[in-house]
Amino acid sequence: MTYLYIKDYSWFYESLTLIQSKYKAPILRKLKSEIYDLVLSNEPKQSLQVMNLEDDKLEDLEIVVGVGVIRYFAEKGYEGVSVKEIYEDIIFDNKNFDPVLIVEKALPTLLRRHSNSIPIYKYIKDYEEPLPEQIEKEIKTELKQFLNKGLINRSRTVNIEHRSVNAIAEEFELARSLEYICFLSEEEINLDELCNFLQTTFNETPNILEIQTRQIATNFRRVVKIYDFLRYKN
């Protein structure tokens, strides 16, 4: 074994800083996934967490990822939230989004891109500042405002004998169920039944927001918006 003695190690350490770390592709994909989730939610995931340097719990962590400007990265991350993620969050309540950043960074853009028609009430219910104009003008006060003229006219001619979410789902196939649920009054809708119906439908048909017949996708989104309105409007 050869021993080297030098008086000044600075040149040695400077040389080490020039060496770039290399990571295998699977590790990079994992890190990208984990950090993206954290940027959007600030929720810990397994051993990876986001914390300030002043946090007392910092010394208890085995792995620490430091991001210098957390708020900046969070805001940029929220600009990339998709409309599908919004619908999934309404149905499953599983995204841990920051409602303030959703309202300020995501909803105005998503409304413009999707005909001013996406779920909004889950996020605006606790928003304490004046709402952005793009959101404010989409506030509704009653269920019939979610229906177009064609559905309103059809609701007057359709006879639904058993008027509940579960009864409709059991009696009719999916396309008809989605349409008829839109015809129920607020008093006839049990929110737990509706939530279960939406979760079951989405799990059985994960691509329902993108494909199927146009009317099925449209009415599924409509029912989610009705659920969002009834669950969170107060």
pLDDT tens-digit series, residues 150-195: 999 999 999 999 999 999 999 999 999 999 999 999 999 999 999 9
In a domain, 94, yes or no: yes
For 45, phi then psi, to 5°, come to -130, 110
Q: How far is CA 11 from CA 3, 20, 128, 206, in A?
A: 18, 17, 55, 57
pTM (whole model) above 0.95 = no
Number of residues that make up the chain? 234
- The stretch 96-104 carries a mean pLDDT of 93
In a domain, 9, yes or no: no
Co-location of 157 and 206 in the same domain? yes
Structural domain containing residue 69? 25-76
In a domain, 11, yes or no: no
Q: How confident is the model at residue 45 (pLDDT cuts 50, 70, 90)?
A: low
Residue 118 pLDDT exceeds 70:
yes
Radius of gyration of the chain (CA): 25
In a domain, 14, yes or no: no
pLDDT at 24: 75
Co-location of 154 and 218 in the same domain? yes
- The stretch 40-47 carries a mean pLDDT of 58
Co-location of 100 and 178 in the same domain? no
